[in-house]
Amino acid sequence: MKITAEPRSDQWNAEDFLQGPRVFAIAGVKNGAAEQKYDIDLEGESRVWRPPLTMLRVLLTAWGDDSDAWVGRRVQLFHDPNVRFGKEAVGGIRIAALSNLDSPLNLKLTATRGKRVTYTVQPLKEAPKPAQQARDFLAEAEQANGDPDLLRALWKAAKAAGEPQPHLDTIQAMAAPTTEESN
Domain ranges of the chain: 14-123, 137-177
The Cβ of residue 145 has, within 10 Å, a number of other Cβ atoms equal to 9
* pLDDT for res 102: 93
* pLDDT for res 128: 61
The Cβ of residue 177 has, within 10 Å, a number of other Cβ atoms equal to 10
* pLDDT for res 65: 94
The residues of the chain scoring below 50 in pLDDT are: 181-183
Instruction: Note the pLDDT tens digit of each residue in 12-46.
Output: 888 888 888 999 999 999 998 767 889 999 998 88
- Map 34-58 to HEC letters: CCCCEEEEECCCCCEECCCHHHHHH
